Amino acid sequence: MKVGYARVSTNEQDAQAQRGFLLSVGVDEGRIYSDVGFTGKNAQREGLRQALAAVREGDTLVVPKMDRLARNVEDTLQIVRELTERGVIFQMGQTVYDPHDPWSKLFLTFLAAIAEAEGGWISLRTQEGMARPSVRKKLKGRQPSIPPETDAAIAKALDEGVQSAADLARVFRISRSGVYRAAARHRAMVEQ
């Protein structure tokens, strides 16, 4: 029996291509385990834990690519070693790992090292990008849930003393602190 594992790092990514590959190599839909929103550095992944628990002696664990399993050599080799000790076959892509073949061990270690380096390069590129002011300026964080026109109305009502912050919070269905933040956003925008 084949068991598959797929992983995507963010909720915006789609695991369909990985699932499609796993189905094409004979993994049943119900035997595909996945994680969404976890990096390969995080070893505490529920989908991976379930996939490892699902395989028995003689079964095959299939991953589409090496970096989907783990992002460093140590974790990769540990997982594959544990699978081998349990009599589970490991398949990465179309390649079946043979623990008795030194070339297979070398190839696995080499691919794991590339996956680890790739993770490091991604991190470096991200850090370099974040160091540029033009990139930081685009990162605005979480946007307010109310529009600027509402901010203006709240600020005006507070300034004129027409309604209390508690009353405005009920009317606009936001918290009292949200009322004060809305007024502060409007004032900051006017001062610009």
Q: Which of 32, 20, 21 is nearest to 93 (CA)?
A: 21
Reduced 3-state DSSP string for the chain: CEEEEEEECCCCCCCHHHHHHHHHCCCCHHHEEEEECCCCCCCCCHHHHHHHHHCCCCCEEEECCHHHHCCCHHHHHHHHHHHHHCCCEEEECCEECCCCCHHHHHHHHHHHHHHHHHHHHHHHHHHHHHHCHHHHHHCCCCCCCCCHHHHHHHHHHHHHCCCCHHHHHHHHCCCHHHHHHHHHHHHHHHHC
Catalytic member of 9, 104, 123, 175: 9
Q: Residue 123 catalytic?
A: no
Residues classed as catalytic:
9
